[in-house]
Amino acid sequence: MGGIRICRQQTAQNPFFIKRISVKIYTVEELCYYVYHNFALIDDTLINEDLFVWLESELGMARCAGILRQNVAGGASYRKLASLLLDLVGYCNKEELRNLFSGIEAQSTKPGSQMLKSIGDRMLENHKYVKAIREYNSILNLRARDNQTDSFLGSVYHNMGVAFARLFLYDQAAKCFAAAYEKNGDEKSREQYIGAVKLGGAPIEEFVDEKEPDVDAKLEALVKEASQDDTVRRFRELQRLKEEGQEEAYQQQLQAFLQEQKKICAKYISV
C-alpha cells in the first residue's frame, strides 16, 4: 500500500466521526485508509446505519450504501463488509485484498492485549491521551490471562508514560517509565523516567541516578526547540503587548488565545 492516493470522490461538508479513535473524516479515501490499516478492529462501531446515511447524504454514494445494507441484512461478517467497501470504492485490488486477509488470519492468533495495544497506540498518535491510558490499563488487567512478555509489557508501560507526560502528569509518567525500564531494560525508558522527574515528577528511590549530563543536554535542546513553537511565540507576543501598555489589544488577543487552548485541551482529555 505504498505511494500517494489521490482523492477522487467529493469531500463531505459534515464529517463522519470514527468513535474508536475519536477522529473526524471527510472523504471515502480517509474511511478506506482507516479500514485497511485497522481491518481486524472493524465492527459495528464503524459499519452501521450512521455510516450508510453519511455515504449517501454527504458523498452521494447511495449505491455503495445500499450494497452494504443488503450484506448486513444477509448476515455478512464485518470483515466481509470491510473488504466489500474497499472493493466497491476501488481502494485496493484483489491481490491486495488477499494479502490483507492472510495478514489478518495471522493476527487472529494474537492475544486480546495486543489488539488493545493497537487501539491504545492509535489513540496516542491522535492525541487522545486519556483514552490511550484507558486501553493500556485494560492490557495490564489482562496480563495473567494473555501470558504477556516483559518486552511487551515494557512497551505498554512506556507508551502509557508518554500519555501521562503529555497531560503534564509527571508523577504517573515517572512511575510508568520506571516500570517500563524494569521490564525491558530499554535506555529510552530510563531517559524518559529521568526527564519526567526533572519536569516535576516524584523520584523513585534507588531506581536510577537523576544527575546525568546527557539528559540535561536533551532537556535543554527540547526547551530551545519549544521556543520556536507557534504557541510559545504567540504567548510572547501577548507579553509584549502587555509590557507596551496596549491593554485593549492584549485583552482581545488573550481571550482568543485562551479559547483556542481550551479547545485543544478538551480534545486531549476527551473521554
Three-state DSSP string of 4-64: CCCCCCCCCCCCEEECCCCEEECCHHHHHHHHHHCHHHCCCCCCCHHHHHHHHHHHCCHHH
Give rounded-to-5 percent helix, strand, coil for the chain: 70, 0, 30
Average pLDDT of the chain is: 80
**pLDDT(182) > 80:** yes
Q: Mean of the pLDDT values across residues 37-64?
A: 89
Reported residue count of the chain is 271
Comparing 107 with 66, which gets the higher pLDDT? Answer: 66
Comparing 235 with 244, which gets the higher pLDDT? Answer: 244
18's CB contacts (< 8 A; 6+ apart) are 24, 25, 34, 46
- pLDDT, position 6: 43
Indicate the CATH number for domain 112-226: 1.25.40.10
Q: Mean of the pLDDT values across residues 51-78?
A: 93
User: Which band of pLDDT confidence, cut at 50, 70 and 90, is reported for residue 56?
Assistant: very high
**pLDDT(7) > 60:** no
Whose CA is closest to 162, among 201, 131, 122, 133? 133
Q: Mean of the pLDDT values across residues 41-59?
A: 91
This prediction has a pTM of 0.57
Q: What is the pLDDT of residues 16-36, one digit of tens each?
A: 998 877 788 999 999 998 888
Write down the domain spans for the chain. 16-107, 112-226, 234-269
AA letter at 17: F
Q: How far apart are CA 114 and CA 152, in angstroms?
A: 9
